[in-house]
Structure 1
């Protein structure tokens, strides 16, 4: 299995990424996400979102979602996902008012986007904090073709 790093992430697909997250101890993920690779890894994950977006599941959904990943060198890293007109766009320069804002640590985030964690359970146990449209929060995972690890 590949080492958990920005270089390995850039060269593997979503299914391999899911297996990598699942097989890497949380402490190792936390260590890498506290290093200089953090920004590259987050950018890589968010850059893939539009390609994993399921317009067929989104229907008429119109939403702005902010993802705040805690523990960065200069505070939280916040990304904005915009779902409108059957498309998904992502930026690391949030500019719009969110319908939903979620805050989580980097290990929780990677588990959610790799399909290795149950987002509802993580919300219920306080690992994910959500403000705004909680109905949308419950549906976010269904709007993307998340890998099954």
Structure 2
């Protein structure tokens, strides 16, 4: 088991809350290396898994050309990489283990800190892409729509 930094209970509660504003507040001022080390622990893994499990609740949907699969690959050095498939339709999102949904339409690969930043709208996917922290393989148009499909697009951005 990997041991990471110990965070105050308030910060841990905010990181676990799933509330976007609380998560962003918990991330503020937190050194990236400390968050990465914590996300590599079993406790950090549990939070990442919860983010994926809750994605269907945040799904806003939208026009879709049939069923699409978005594979998310979240790297947690030195811990095991997490990967999930999101099977998307116009009005439904289903989270599946990778390999159970066929070939993905798009694969998004990023480090765990960048994933948490993007999932909480603390960072935008385009910024992460330009910084080299997000890699996209496959349908770039679907990748670009991910934030709007989950209600995470920055104010004023197209959905």
More off after superposition, 121-130 vs 18-27: 18-27
Q: For residue 3 of structure 1, what is the aligned residue in structure 2?
A: 11
Question: In the alignment, is residue 140 of structure 1 matched against residue 140 of structure 2?
Answer: no
> Equivalences for 1:1-149 in 2 at 5 Å?
2-4=10-12, 8-11=14-17, 13-55=19-61, 58-61=62-65, 62-71=67-76, 75-96=80-101, 97-146=103-152
Alignment TM-score, normalising by the size of structure 1: 0.83
Deviations 1:83-111 (A, max 9, x none): 12410111234412100001111011111
Aligned residues: 144
Distance (whole Å) between structure 2 residues aligned to residue 132 and residue 138 of structure 1: 11
Cα contact 1:14–1:147 (8 A) shared by 2:
no
Asked which structure has the greater RCO (Cα within 8 Å, sep 6+), the reply is 1
Q: Partner of 1:59: helix, strand, or coil?
A: coil
Mapped to 2, the partners of 1:147 and 1:123 lie a distance apart of 15
Tell me the TM-score normalised to structure 2 length.
0.78
State the Cα distance separating 1:146 from its structure 2 match: 2.8
* Contact 1:21 1:114 survives alignment (8 Å): no
CA gap 1:74/1:9 in 2 versus in 1, 3 angstroms: closer
- Identify unmatched segments of 5+ residues in structure 2: 1-7, 155-159
C-alpha change, 1:104 and 1:12, in structure 2 (3 Å) is: closer
Tell me, what secondary structure is at the counterpart of 1:24? coil
Q: Is the 8 A contact 1:114 1:147 kept in 2?
A: no
